[in-house]
């Protein structure tokens, strides 16, 4: 597909190396992993090998990794099973979580199962740690769900610190790590979370497969009932080639992490500098322009109001650039970004999220900046 793809927080291209690893399980090794004959056994072995690979990268035990259909299912499973089965009544989250978490918790609140509180955020969207501590100290036997890396503005939470705080106060800690998984190192001996999650399509693996880590000391019962797959924790014939692809993608990501991080950080930096030079009044949402406190893969740009505002993404698309939008919700409307709205950004300022990957080049960045500048009637190429 031609064009410049700068929407990698939405999904990433499949790595050809991952596809090669998946191919035999699409064409030749088609047995059902639950079958006891040789066709089944060879496929079962591939699933368990994948589980061991994921566990090793996260410095944990394979018995704590459960494959799912993706991040949304993993978040639902962790939250709903923990809350319902552990009798949790008080939950803390933030208003800028992904809907996989937010809508799940709001549903449980609506049906009267929990009281849901929101941790205060500062003006950049960072969690107020003192408020978190206060809440934990007055809400024993609770659950906290806070994401590691925000998919829209890129803010990074100190997941290790929050996990230790929750441990200290006896709260269950769930973190949606979909945007940081395989982009950062997660050492589960240091992160004291009961659950974290991953989705393969965010790190050059296939779509429709992910996993949930469940700490061994925090036993829960299944979310999806059915057969005995995933050690009785998730019924349904496994997405075998997806699981193989997930593990391969994760191995590649860890193998090349430093190189890719440096490359992508360079691209993000380039975009920040060029936008500042070419688009008067440009600003950046949340902490996304702060390389130390945000995902290196995400830059959320806040553009000055203009006649072209409404058409920005459309015009970028016409110029062959795929990025993603997100304006503040106007009240009563369900369109727009709940994250940007929460930061109190003026609705008339258009916001665009550019998100990067290992396949992007400096030329992609320059073309995107020139396109934005052109749309804004500013000077173009240097």
What are the residues binding ligand PLP (CB under 6 A)? 70-72, 98, 100, 147, 151, 176, 178-179, 199, 210
Task: Between 174 and 268, name the residue whose CB sits nearer to ligand PLP.
Answer: 174
Minimal distance, residue 179 CB to ligand PLP, in Å: 5
How far, in whole angstroms, is CA 41 from its chain's centroid? 33
Closest CA to 357 of 3, 97, 15, 54: 15
Minimal distance, residue 205 CB to ligand PLP, in Å: 10
Task: Between 179 and 285, name the residue whose CB sits nearer to ligand PLP.
Answer: 179
What is the DSSP annotation of 111-168? TTS-EEEE--B-TTS-B-HHHHHHHHHH--S-EEE--SB-TTT-BB--HHHHHHHHHH
CA distance 10 to 4: 14
Task: Between 179 and 194, name the residue whose CB sits nearer to ligand PLP.
Answer: 179
Minimal distance, residue 97 CB to ligand PLP, in Å: 8
- Find the residue with minimal CB distance to ligand PLP: 71
333 vs 310, 330, 341, CA distance in Å?
16, 6, 12
Residue 337 backbone dihedrals phi, psi, to 5 degrees: -95, 125
| Active-site residue, from 81, 166, 329, 357 | 329
Minimal distance, residue 56 CB to ligand PLP, in Å: 22
Asked if 215 contacts 64 with a C-beta cutoff of 8 angstroms, the reply is: yes
| Catalytic-residue membership of 329 | yes
Minimal distance, residue 285 CB to ligand PLP, in Å: 16
Task: Between 188 and 199, name the residue whose CB sits nearer to ligand PLP.
Answer: 199
Task: Between 154 and 350, name the residue whose CB sits nearer to ligand PLP.
Answer: 154
Report strand pairing: 90-93 vs 115-118.
parallel
Minimal distance, residue 10 CB to ligand PLP, in Å: 6
Task: Between 69 and 309, name the residue whose CB sits nearer to ligand PLP.
Answer: 69
Instruction: Please name the helix (run of DSSP H) or strand (run of DSSP E) that holds residue 213, with its range, or none.
Output: strand 210-214
Minimal distance, residue 127 CB to ligand PLP, in Å: 15
The SS3 call for residue 378 is: coil
Task: Between 73 and 370, name the residue whose CB sits nearer to ligand PLP.
Answer: 73
Closest CA to 203 of 133, 269, 268, 250: 250
Closest CA to 101 of 143, 160, 133, 132: 143
What is the DSSP annotation of 243-292? HHHHHHHHHHHHHTHHHHHHHHHHHHHHHHHHHHHHSTT-EESTTTT-TT
* CB burial string 136-157: b at 16+ within 10 A, e below: beebeebbbbbbbbbbbbbbbb
Any idea which residues carry the catalytic annotation?
329
């Amino acid at each position: 597909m031609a064009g410049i793809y700068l929407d990698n927080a939405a999904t990433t291209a499949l790595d050809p190396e991952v596809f090669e690893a998946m191919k035999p399980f699409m064409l030749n090794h088609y047995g059902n992993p639950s079958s006891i004959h040789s066709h089944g056994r060879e496929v079962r072995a591939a699933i368990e090998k994948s589980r061991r690979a994921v566990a090793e990268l996260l410095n944990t035990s394979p018995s704590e990794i459960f494959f799912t259909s993706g991040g949304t299912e993993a978040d639902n499973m962790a939250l709903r099973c923990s809350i319902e089965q552990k009798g949790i009544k008080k939950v803390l989250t933030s208003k800028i979580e992904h809907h996989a978490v937010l809508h799940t918790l709001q549903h449980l609140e609506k049906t009267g199962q929990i009281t849901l509180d929101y941790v205060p955020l500062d003006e950049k969207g960072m969690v107020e740690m003192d408020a978190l501590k206060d809440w934990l100290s007055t809400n024993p036997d609770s659950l906290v769900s806070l994401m590691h890396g925000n998919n829209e503005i890129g803010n990074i939470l100190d997941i290790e610190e929050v996990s230790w705080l929750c441990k200290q106060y006896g709260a269950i800690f769930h973190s949606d790590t979909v945007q940081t998984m395989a982009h950062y190192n997660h050492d589960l001996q240091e992160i004291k979370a009961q659950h974290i999650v991953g989705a393969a399509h965010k790190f050059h693996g296939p779509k429709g497969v992910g996993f949930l880590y469940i700490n061994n000391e925090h036993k829960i019962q299944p979310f999806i009932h059915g057969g005995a797959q995933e050690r009785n924790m998730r019924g349904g014939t496994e997405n075998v080639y997806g699981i193989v692809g997930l593990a391969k993608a994760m191995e590649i990501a860890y193998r090349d992490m430093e190189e890719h991080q440096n490359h992508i950080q360079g691209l993000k930096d380039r975009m920040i500098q060029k936008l500042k030079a070419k688009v008067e009044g440009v600003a950046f949402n949340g902490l996304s322009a702060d390389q130390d406190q945000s995902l290196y893969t995400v830059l959320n740009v806040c553009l000055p109001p203009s006649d072209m505002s409404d058409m920005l993404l459309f015009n970028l698309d016409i110029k062959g650039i795929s990025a993603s939008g997100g304006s503040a919700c106007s009240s009563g409307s369900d369109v727009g970004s709940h994250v940007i709205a929460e930061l109190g950004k003026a609705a008339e300022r258009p916001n665009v999220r550019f998100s990067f990957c290992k396949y992007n080049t400096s030329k992609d960045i320059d073309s995107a900046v020139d396109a934005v500048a052109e749309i804004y009637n500013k000077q173009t190429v240097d």
